[in-house]
């Protein structure tokens, strides 16, 4: 999923706790969240955009219908069913009961879809936030995994959901998935679909888009100059005093926001680096928050060999993949059913169009690659929810570049190759918003 391009002014939905409002928001935060985040999902126009993303569709279709042995006779929950497509597939794969949960009025359309596809006796659509709803455990005769205290809702065998936002975490719907898992999923045997997700970054060459951003910024500032002149001459008021504020605003918008890109695989200059891996059976709400400065995986050291055609480095691009495979945690490996036909979704440049695309963080100035020299791009990435809005993220990049030449000239027998540092840049630190 992903909501459509956001407006220029990010909305404010922050609750006192920084939680997403569907879990813990005051009335105002909930209303703002509904008006801005959820409202687009109530439109068929937007659901259709996701339904027409064939990489997305093919992965979920293969995951569910390719593993009907796993779904047969099971109780399934589709968190955020939207138009209901995943719930229909779960029923077609042989699920005994499917609960399709949807916050928005799209729930009404989902009910119609269930009837039209002859699965309304299997799928029950429940309208509400998954954080708030209850399952009809008694009336539907659902089996609890244990009689232990705290497990009185754990009747679900498989949670399916398409919760991923731009650069995986944007929209923060993962919180809702974790809460649904911890309340409803059978702990020992339950499966999460997707089961694992991986975030990647890689240095990319894409000067066209980088220069376009720079050009748009320059255009906005030149327009501001004209505007100031006109306002002074014609209306007699000096607006120049606001120039630095306008400049800040335009920089944040055009230069320090990541951009949605559909990069060709040739744009990727080095082996992508994993910056976060999530096991959906075990990950915590803290894991879902973002990427902390002291995270284990968040640093990178890309080695890029220059040749006469390569480069320059225009920025770093980020994307994610999702796996639908067997559980890998200790309990799950022993107790949960095996997923015989794993499925996979990639939103990376090697896989062509998805509606997620990649989020590319363009550098203010590109980094040249020189023929026969190795350029290192090393640093770290952080990702944090914004203070104003718990569904949006900022990303902090820190990086230096250095150019090395491996020198054989002075090499005597048995001696290591000599590495000369030809250039090392100052550290660049920049916060980007993920719009």
What is the set of active-site residues?
Answer: 162, 171
What mask of x and - would describe binding to ligand SAH in positions 7 to 26, judged by CB under 6 A? ---------------x----
Q: Which is nearer to ligand SAH, 103 or 217 (CB)?
A: 103
Give the residue among 317, 336, 316, 318 at the shortest CA–CA distance from 326.
Answer: 336
Q: Which is nearer to ligand SAH, 355 or 376 (CB)?
A: 355
**Is residue 85 part of the contact set for ligand SAH (CB under 6 A)?**
yes
| C-alpha 239, offset from chain centre | 40
Query: Using CB under 6 A, which of the segments 80-88, 270-278, 287-295, 405-413 binds ligand SAH?
Result: 80-88
**Binding to ligand SAH in span 30-69, by CB under 6 A:** 38, 41, 50-51
Q: Which is nearer to ligand SAH, 30 or 196 (CB)?
A: 30
- Smallest distance from ligand SAH to CB 26, Å: 17
- Contact (CB, 8 A) for 404 and 377: no
CA–CA gap between residue 291 and residue 318 (Å, rounded): 13
Two tokens at 277? 């891996």
Strand stretches in 103-167, DSSP E: 123-127, 158-161
What mask of x and - would describe binding to ligand SAH in positions 172 to 191, judged by CB under 6 A? -x--x---------------
Q: Which is nearer to ligand SAH, 130 or 291 (CB)?
A: 130
CA–CA gap between residue 417 and residue 408 (Å, rounded): 6
Two tokens at 212? 């376009």
- Smallest distance from ligand SAH to CB 261, Å: 22
Q: From the list 104, 198, 250, 358, which residue makes contact with ligand SAH (rule: CB under 6 A)?
A: 104
| C-alpha 166, offset from chain centre | 4
Two tokens at 255? 């230069």
**Is residue 287 part of the contact set for ligand SAH (CB under 6 A)?**
no
- Contact (CB, 8 A) for 312 and 32: no
- Contact (CB, 8 A) for 135 and 153: yes
Q: From the list 75, 77, 86, 191, which residue makes contact with ligand SAH (rule: CB under 6 A)?
A: 86
CA–CA gap between residue 4 and residue 12 (Å, rounded): 17
**Is residue 106 part of the contact set for ligand SAH (CB under 6 A)?**
yes
What mask of x and - would describe binding to ligand SAH in positions 114 to 153, judged by CB under 6 A? ---------------xxx----------------------
CA–CA gap between residue 249 and residue 10 (Å, rounded): 13
- Contact (CB, 8 A) for 334 and 202: no
**Is residue 217 part of the contact set for ligand SAH (CB under 6 A)?**
no
CA–CA gap between residue 192 and residue 109 (Å, rounded): 25
Q: Side-chain half-sphere of 142: how many Cα atoms within 13 Å?
A: 27
Q: Which residue is nearest to ligand SAH (CB)?
A: 80
- Largest separation between any pair of C-alpha atoms in the chain: 82
State the helix-helix crossing angle for 85-92 and 106-116, rounded to 10 degrees: 30
Strand stretches in 72-163, DSSP E: 75-79, 97-102, 123-127, 158-161
- Contact (CB, 8 A) for 23 and 33: no
Query: Using CB under 6 A, which of the segments 63-71, 99-107, 229-237, 262-270 binds ligand SAH?
Result: 99-107
**Is residue 103 part of the contact set for ligand SAH (CB under 6 A)?**
yes
- Smallest distance from ligand SAH to CB 321, Å: 17
Q: From the list 80, 290, 311, 435, which residue makes contact with ligand SAH (rule: CB under 6 A)?
A: 80
Q: Which is nearer to ligand SAH, 38 or 217 (CB)?
A: 38
Query: Binders of ligand SAH: how many residues, by CB under 6 A?
Result: 23
Q: What's the count of helices (H) and strands (E) in the chain, helices before strands? A: 12, 16
SS3 (DSSP) at 154: coil
Q: Which is nearer to ligand SAH, 67 or 298 (CB)?
A: 67
Give the residue among 179, 213, 181 at the shortest CA–CA distance from 194.
Answer: 181
Query: Using CB under 6 A, which of the segments 4-12, 77-85, 343-351, 419-427 binds ligand SAH?
Result: 77-85
Q: Which is nearer to ligand SAH, 22 or 314 (CB)?
A: 22
Q: From the list 90, 95, 101, 119, which residue makes contact with ligand SAH (rule: CB under 6 A)?
A: 101
Q: Which is nearer to ligand SAH, 131 or 209 (CB)?
A: 131
Q: From the list 102, 157, 209, 373, which residue makes contact with ligand SAH (rule: CB under 6 A)?
A: 102
User: Would you tell me which residues interact with ligand SAH (CB under 6 A)?
Assistant: 1, 22, 38, 41, 50-51, 80-83, 85-86, 101-104, 106, 129-131, 162, 173, 176
């Amino acid at each position: 999923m992903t909501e459509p391009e956001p407006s220029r002014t990010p909305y404010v939905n922050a609750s006192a706790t920084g939680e997403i409002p569907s879990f813990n928001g005051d009335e105002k935060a909930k209303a703002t969240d509904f008006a801005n985040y959820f409202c687009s999902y109530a439109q068929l126009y937007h659901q259709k955009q996701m339904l027409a993303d064939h990489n997305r569709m093919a992965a979920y279709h293969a995951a569910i219908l390719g593993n009907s042995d796993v779904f047969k006779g099971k109780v399934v929950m589709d968190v955020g069913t939207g138009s209901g497509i995943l719930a229909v597939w779960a029923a077609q794969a042989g699920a005994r009961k499917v609960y399709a949960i949807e916050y928005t009025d799209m729930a009404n359309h989902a009910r119609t879809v269930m009837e039209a596809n002859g699965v309304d006796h299997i799928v029950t659509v429940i309208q509400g936030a998954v954080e708030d709803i209850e399952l009809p455990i008694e009336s539907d005769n659902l089996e609890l995994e244990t009689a232990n205290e705290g497990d009185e809702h754990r009747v679900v065998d498989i949670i399916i959901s398409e919760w991923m936002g731009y650069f995986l975490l944007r929209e923060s719907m993962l919180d809702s998935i974790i809460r649904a898992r911890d309340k409803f999923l059978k702990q020992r045997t339950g499966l999460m679909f997707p089961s694992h997700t991986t975030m990647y970054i890689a240095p990319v060459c894409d000067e066209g888009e980088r220069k376009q951003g720079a050009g748009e910024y320059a255009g906005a500032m030149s327009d501001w100059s004209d505007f100031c002149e006109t306002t002074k001459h014609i209306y007699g008021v000096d607006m120049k005093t606001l120039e630095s504020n306008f400049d800040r605003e335009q920089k944040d918008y055009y230069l320090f926001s990541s951009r949605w890109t559909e990069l060709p695989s040739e744009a990727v200059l080095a082996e992508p680096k994993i910056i976060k891996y999530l096991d959906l059976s075990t990950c915590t709400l803290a894991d879902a928050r973002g990427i902390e400065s002291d995270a284990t995986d968040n640093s990178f050291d890309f080695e890029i060999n220059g040749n006469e055609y390569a480069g320059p480095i225009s920025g770093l691009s980020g994307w994610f993949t999702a796996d639908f495979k067997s559980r890998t945690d200790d309990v799950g490996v022993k107790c949960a059913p095996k997923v015989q036909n794993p499925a996979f979704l990639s939103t990376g440049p090697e896989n062509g169009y998805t509606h997620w695309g990649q989020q590319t963080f363009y550098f203010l100035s590109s980094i040249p690659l020189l023929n026969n020299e190795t350029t290192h791009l090393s640093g770290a990435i952080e990702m944090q929810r914004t203070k104003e809005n718990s569904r949006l993220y900022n990303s902090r990049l820190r990086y230096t570049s250095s150019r090395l030449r491996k020198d054989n000239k002075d090499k005597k027998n048995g001696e290591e190759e000599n590495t000369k540092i030809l250039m090392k840049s100052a550290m660049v630190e920049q916060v980007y918003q993920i719009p």
